A = this chain, B = another copy of it.
Amino acid sequence: MKTLQHITCLFWLAGLSLVQAQEYKPSSVNQAGKAFPQVNAEGQVRAQISAPEATSVKLDIGGVKYEMTKDAEGVWTGESAPQDVGFHYYQLNIDGASVPDPGTKYYYGAGRWGSGIEIPAPDDAIFAMRKVPHGNVVENLYFSEITQQWRRNFIYLPPGYTTSDKRYPVLYLQHGSYEDETGWSSQGHANLILDNLIADGEAEPMIIVMDNGYAYKPDAPKEGRPESVFEEVMLKEIIPMTDAEFRTLADREHRAIAGLSMGANQTMRIIMNNLDTFSYYGGFSGTANFGIEGAIDVDTFLNGAFSDGAQVDEQLNLLWLGLGTKEPERFPKTINAFVDMLKAQEITYTFYESPETAHEWHTWRRCLHQFAQKLFKD
């Protein structure tokens, strides 16, 4: 009897181990038909690649390298530590060469086109492909006279745009550092988030313009940190072009601007310099005092833009801030310093905390999901 129990127990253990192995599922952003990389319920990433002659293969995710091991057929497999929910850029390292994983689709982030992986979150339904009317994402090429370069943006047109004569309000929505104009409609899923919100009656149909935040004069130095002319490009080129090419409601009451991280900093500067142009602001994981964690001097910060609190409060229809609970300290510290200033100036604001997310795209998807519901409802 004892032996039978023992055998049963072994079967049970074998079964458990099988269940755990099966828990790894192909990532939702894999190329069609590719079994790897995989993700388990703990958020671990399992990568696999055939490299029979290699002596060292590593999974490099979030700046941490995980050793992989080789089987008899020369196939390397390895797992990462649990990752935060959401979207992460990563790469493989094969005998010292850092390369994209051939199993995934490719995304622009971390300053390169490379592999991405999605760690499922409990609220992934916000960007699920549902059987609801879908808007379109339009690729728009334009020559900037200011930068003397060809530039590109992506423009979300809400469901119904192509078949109606209606005019729509516009959200100008910016990416973060080392990202580009593709981020929000690719890994950010801005289009699907809005399609779902609009279908559920939770957001007003709106146009979203997603441009590239890097813009410099043609004679700007190639090294160091040249002066950005993105504000000038936004005001003199992007907005007039959008209003000319698409059926917009072209006034401040129907214009919002938001961004993530570097984009939050940029867009806060742009709106505070141009309150005649925009009336809604969203800062996702960022504010214009980035790098300054101490008290903000309202007389000098952004040239005193917040010094008359009552006037700012009157002019802004929305001052919205969002942050993930697992972001590096410098983000909550600077954003809290900004919030302290708002309180002292008696400026109304909305603050949203995204549970269990880091300085990554799932924080920003949630921010857009929340923020978009507050726009253009007056």
Q: Please give the residue numbers on chain A whose beta carbons come within 8 Å of chain B beta carbons, in ascending order.
A: 31, 49-57, 74, 91-92, 94-102, 105-106, 112-114, 129, 131, 134, 136-143, 150, 162-163, 185, 244-246
Contact = CB atoms under 8 A, between A and B. Distances in A.
Nearest to A104: B113
B99 A102 contact: yes
A51 B99 CA distance: 10
Nearest to A132: B143
Contacts of A106: 100, 106, 113
Contact of A97 (B54, B91, B163): B54
Quickly give the copy total for this chain: 2
Nearest to A180: B32
A106 to B, nearest CB: 4
Given A106-B106, A245-B162, A52 B136 contact: no
Contact of A162 (B94, B163, B246): B246
A134 B141 contact: yes
Given A53-B95, A53-B96, 18 more contacts: A50-B98, A52-B96, A54-B96, A55-B95, A57-B97, A91-B102, A92-B99, A94-B99, A99-B99, A99-B100, A100-B100, A100-B102, A131-B143, A134-B141, A136-B139, A137-B139, A139-B185, A163-B244
A27 to B, nearest CB: 14
Nearest to A141: B134
Contact of A54 (B52, B54, B91, B129): B54
Nearest to A106: B106
A95 B95 contact: yes
A95 B244 contact: no
Q: For the complex of A and B, list the 8 residue pairs with the smallest distance between their C-beta atoms, beginning with the closest.
A: A51-B97, A54-B95, A53-B95, A52-B96, A99-B99, A53-B96, A137-B139, A106-B106
Contacts of A57: 97
